[in-house]
Structure 1
Amino acid sequence: MQTRTRSLLYGASAAIVLLLLIAIGSRGFHWFDATLIGYAVGTVFAVAAVTYKYTFWIARPPTGRYWRRSWQMFFSFANFRRYTVLIPKAIITDLFTQDFIRKRGWYRWVMHQCLFWGVILSCAITFPLTFGWLRFTQTVTGAYQIWMVGFPFVSFPADSLFGFLLFHALDFTAALLLIGLVLAFHRRFHDLAVIAVQRFRFDLMPLVLLLAIALTGLALTADSAWLGGAYYWFISLTHQIVVVLWLISLPFGKFFHLVERPATVGVTLYTQITRDEAMQPCARCGTEFATVRFIRDLKQTLADVGEDYTLPAAAANIAVAEQPANTDALWWQDLCPACKRVMRGQAMMATISPEGNQFL
């Protein structure tokens, strides 16, 4: 209960901080566009819910231990000198290029890249506009002036190539998103392995909402360009509704892994650094099979969640070199995978007959 309450407080604090940033960036809401208030309210609720779920997630013993260890290693000057390029490389390969997906197949990689960059770039454009941090004004010469958090940034002719690309940036990201969505729906409707395990609310509904967002967003441009804005109010309201629904569903659906994914950089850091540390020998055969730090963290995590994986040393007929401080028994995690299989087999044979293995 304390963890949940703490996460609720973090979520409320994140929402308050975002509201303060909106007020500061829009100069006391002076440049805040009231017609976009639905997006802003949905974003505030989404930030609160995402923060709540994320802090609750990292409060779990396994995630929390990885989280703390990762930051300890990140702020270590010795590690920084030895692994200077590790973090930038992990950020690029794990987050931006997603090489781990490319190894599973080019189809899935292209699909994920289109979805990832379509969502990220759309959010990077939409949120500053919604919060009043980014706005456009027209100068006396007819050029457009970009303002960032109340400060003039750059001006450009409205009919320039830069202006065209800037004004249609969300159309380009929507088109990129549509490519990823077409590939995703094709895979989910034709891949039998995916069909067998997918769930409508968790797997399909976020994609449906993204499809509605992309189509209604493109429809706004089409209505303005070809229909003279005849249906602009209805389309914009529909677009705002589906965007708010997607934002609110973000913490509870498949796309929450967009928020979780950066934490995997810490896992990469943990794995790489501990690889060069002292190894843990098996308590039965002496074979080194994992790092001492990993086994120690694993034992502490199991103890935190109330799991007891201790074995009597006498029953295993093992001389234990290093025992946990809080027990006189051998930990199952002190054994290598091969010895675990042997001991499981011995236990099964002992269960079949007290005389031992009758098949040999």
Structure 2
Amino acid sequence: MAQSSVQATMQETRAAQPSPGKRRSNLRLRSIFYGILAAIVVTALIAIGSRGFHWFDAALIGYAVATVFAVAAVTYKYSFWLMRPPTGRYWKRSWQLFLSYANFRRYTTLIPGAIGDLFVQSFIRRRGLYRWLTHQCIFWGVILSCLITFPLTFGWLRFTQTTTGLYQVWFFGFPLIVFPVASVQGFVLYHALDITALILFVGLVLAFHRRFHDLALIAVQRFRFDLVPLALLMAIAVTGLALTADSSWLRGSYYWYISLVHEAVVVLWLISLPFGKFFHLIERPATVGIELYWRTGEETEKQHCARCGQEFAPVRFIQDLKKTLYEVGENYTLRDTPALPEQKLAANASPLERETSKLWWQDLCPSCKRVMRGQANLAALGREGNKFL
């Protein structure tokens, strides 16, 4: 009787919840709102940094509009990604662990180390030196180019000449440094984008060489998703270097045409950024929290396999996994099996807590899962061996 009442309560709770389609629509509307809000913030920063658009170069309007669109689209997609049950749960849990004073005191070097690993990309280095050099060149070529291009485009960074013939650097309307034009410092500042374009060019050459000669990669790569983003970056690097070559050696004879092509490919890349391969540049920093999540879980209570009793994963990880699966409509409860003995539920426990307290497939270690599959195959053939214990 009690079991039937619990089932009835669960059915009523599920009926009161919005349908998956409606819930997804609500999340999409919230993500659109965040994207519009991000676009407004970027536009306001452009206005503030350029002192009311006074130092904004109207010739760069295409870059600015494409950047605002890219920021809005990236925010929309990123927020929608974070509001999904799997990523949302681990995202919130990671922040809870990060803001914990006990974890901060115990794992002081963990977060800096994870951030350093993100920039050095040692996880790729373990796969091979060639791939690591390729990713490092593309990563730093793109990041450094963006850090230079966006402030110049928005009017945040500008150069003026003083009465003494020196050059003054301004940022957000505030003076920074003064340097001679013919100095090493001046050469590096004026050719910073050329340096980053060369770094990017080296990485792209290595990437194209691998994609055209690695048979295993050729078999699975997709033209639109894998090759087009690299081709756009190559066009950006080549046309950017061509602008400097034309102004230095050809007296700007073709500068207008090259600059127009350069702007077109940059705009295309920015528009495609939220929907293509390079969106993982924005997703990847979220994995820093996963490192903290797993490391802190390893030193807490471990999950014991319901079949053999061996420890195989943190309890927190298994419980979060079961809750996430339940929220997306996936129930892997093992039928005709007893409930977990260590689970003690309160009288007012929610349907989610009641359901995840049962014995799930996730409560078995990998070895026992293989045994269970073998037993299921034997049972399907009409043989013995289909018992749980």
TM-score under structure 2 normalisation? 0.89
Q: Is contact 1:26–1:32 with CA below 8 Å preserved after alignment?
A: yes
Write the letter of the residue equivalent to 2:142: V
- 1-side partners of 2:82 and 2:154: how far apart? 29
Q: Is contact 1:69–1:270 with CA below 8 Å preserved after alignment?
A: yes
Residue 341 of structure 1: how far off its partner (Å):
1.5
Deviation string 1:50-87 (CA, Å, 9 cap, x unpaired) is 11111111111111111111111111111000011111
Q: Is contact 1:283–1:319 with CA below 8 Å preserved after alignment?
A: no
Report the secondary structure of 2:330's partner residue: coil
Write the letter of the residue equivalent to 1:79: N
Write the letter of the residue equivalent to 1:86: L
Aligned to 1:248: 271
Report the secondary structure of 2:354's partner residue: coil
Report the secondary structure of 1:172's partner residue: helix
Deviation string 1:16-37 (CA, Å, 9 cap, x unpaired) is 0000011111111111111111
Report the secondary structure of 1:155's partner residue: strand
Write the letter of the residue equivalent to 1:62: P
Report the secondary structure of 2:127's partner residue: coil
- 1-side partners of 2:163 and 2:49: how far apart? 25
Residue 347 of structure 1: how far off its partner (Å):
1.6
The residue correspondences of 1:334-345 to structure 2 (distance < 5 A) are 334-345=363-374
Match 1:77 to one of 94, 97, 101: 101
The residue correspondences of 1:131-210 to structure 2 (distance < 5 A) are 131-210=154-233
2:90 matches 1:57: no
Deviation string 1:82-128 (CA, Å, 9 cap, x unpaired) is 011111110001x2100000000000000000000000000000000
- 1-side partners of 2:103 and 2:366: how far apart? 30
| Fraction of identical pairs, as percent | 71
Report the secondary structure of 2:176's partner residue: strand
Residue 322 of structure 1: how far off its partner (Å):
3.4
2:288 matches 1:285: no
Aligned to 2:340: 320
Q: Is contact 2:339–2:358 with CA below 8 Å preserved after alignment?
A: no
Aligned to 1:309: 332
Deviation string 1:292-326 (CA, Å, 9 cap, x unpaired) is 10011011100111001001244xxx673235842
Aligned to 1:216: 239
Report the secondary structure of 1:330's partner residue: coil
Give the root-mean-square deviation of aligned CA atoms.
1.3
Aligned to 2:28: 4
Gapped regions of structure 2 (runs ≥ 5) = 1-24, 344-351
Report the secondary structure of 1:280's partner residue: strand
2:127 matches 1:104: yes
- 1-side partners of 2:340 and 2:290: how far apart? 30
- 2-side partners of 1:21 and 1:231: how far apart? 34
Structure 1 pair 340/133, CA: closer, same or farther in 2 (3 Å)?
same
Q: Is contact 1:313–1:320 with CA below 8 Å preserved after alignment?
A: no
Deviation string 1:109-163 (CA, Å, 9 cap, x unpaired) is 0000000000000000000000110000000111000001001101100111100
- 1-side partners of 2:300 and 2:203: how far apart? 42
Aligned to 1:16: 40
- 1-side partners of 2:199 and 2:283: how far apart? 23
Q: Is contact 1:310–1:331 with CA below 8 Å preserved after alignment?
A: yes
Residue 272 of structure 1: how far off its partner (Å):
1.1
Write the letter of the residue equivalent to 2:253: A
Please identify, of 37-46 and 57-66, the stretch whose mean Cα deviation from structure 2 is larger: 57-66
Residue 219 of structure 1: how far off its partner (Å):
0.5
Write the letter of the residue equivalent to 1:35: A
Structure 1 pair 79/356, CA: closer, same or farther in 2 (3 Å)?
closer
Write the letter of the residue equivalent to 1:27: R
Q: Is contact 2:97–2:103 with CA below 8 Å preserved after alignment?
A: yes
Q: Is contact 1:283–1:321 with CA below 8 Å preserved after alignment?
A: no
Report the secondary structure of 1:289's partner residue: strand
Q: Is contact 1:313–1:319 with CA below 8 Å preserved after alignment?
A: no
Residue 217 of structure 1: how far off its partner (Å):
0.3
Report the secondary structure of 1:326's partner residue: helix
Write the letter of the residue equivalent to 2:29: T
- Report how many aligned residue pairs link the two structures: 353
Aligned to 2:71: 47
Q: Is contact 1:313–1:330 with CA below 8 Å preserved after alignment?
A: no
TM-score under structure 1 normalisation? 0.96
Match 2:360 to one of 323, 326, 331: 331
Aligned to 1:29: 53
- 2-side partners of 1:298 and 1:156: how far apart? 57
